[in-house]
């Protein structure tokens, strides 16, 4: 949907300057470099980040984490690191799927609104993007995953013995994760602009 919306708005706005064809470049570069990883990270923060916080928080409330310590198991190794590894693997894969979905949405809308056939869309897309354009989003994804996982786990460990505390920590986890994902995306954008990548 994001790819479709960006393409549709790009076509309408650029048509005023006789440049509607550049909407393909817009969705290609913007989608692959920024929006694919950003939207995926926000959804993962809301869905998986909240889940991690709720799981660890409920374990903390029922003193299961203390039981792990009594059994000489490190909660970091048992609860947090496996979730971080899973996020680091899953987020780049989901980002790739989001990128492909965005390009599909852009292709469909450009065909409907601007009469750009799929073959022409793909040719223009190939001329607009490079391998580096595609890699930028995938490079960001593992870092976003680590930030989401660490915030979610930290908030889960902050839960105290009430349902109110659990709800507050889950909400805090989602808000902080989304905020940090946006901040990191901005920092990465400045970094990639500085190194001209």
State the 10-residue block means of pLDDT for the chain, 197 residues long.
Answer: 90 86 88 92 94 92 87 88 95 95 92 89 90 90 96 92 89 96 93 86
* Percent of the chain topping pLDDT 70: 100
Tokens of 125: 């897309």
- pLDDT (tens digit, 9 = 90+) per residue, 99-119? 999 999 999 999 988 888 999
Give residue 191's pLDDT: 92
Give residue 174's pLDDT: 95
Of all residues in the chain, what percent are helix, strand and coil, respectively (each to 5)?
90, 0, 10
Cα–Cα distances (Å) from 36 to 33, 48, 94, 98, 111, in that order, read 7, 17, 9, 5, 21
Residues contacting 30, CB < 8 A, separation 6+: 6
How high does pLDDT run on average in the chain?
Answer: 91
Nearest to 38 by CA among 134, 106, 131, 140: 140
């Amino acid at each position: 949907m994001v790819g479709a919306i960006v393409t549709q708005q790009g076509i309408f706005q650029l048509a005023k300057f006789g440049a509607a064809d550049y909407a393909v470049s817009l969705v290609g570069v913007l989608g692959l470099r920024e929006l694919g990883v950003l939207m995926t990270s926000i959804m993962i923060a809301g869905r998986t980040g909240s889940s991690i916080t709720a799981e660890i928080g409920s374990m903390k409330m029922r003193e299961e984490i203390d039981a792990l310590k009594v059994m000489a198991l490190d909660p970091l190794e048992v609860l947090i690191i496996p979730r971080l590894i899973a996020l680091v693997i899953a987020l780049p894969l989901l980002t790739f799927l989001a990128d492909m979905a965005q390009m599909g949405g852009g292709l469909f809308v450009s065909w409907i609104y601007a009469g750009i056939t799929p073959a022409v869309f793909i040719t223009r897309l190939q001329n607009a993007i490079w391998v580096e354009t595609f890699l930028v989003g995938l490079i960001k994804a593992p870092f976003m995953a680590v930030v989401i996982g660490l915030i979610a786990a930290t908030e889960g460990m902050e839960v105290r013995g009430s349902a109110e505390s659990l709800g507050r920590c889950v909400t805090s986890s989602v808000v902080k994760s989304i905020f940090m994902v946006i901040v990191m995306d901005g920092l990465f954008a400045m970094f990639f602009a500085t190194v001209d990548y």
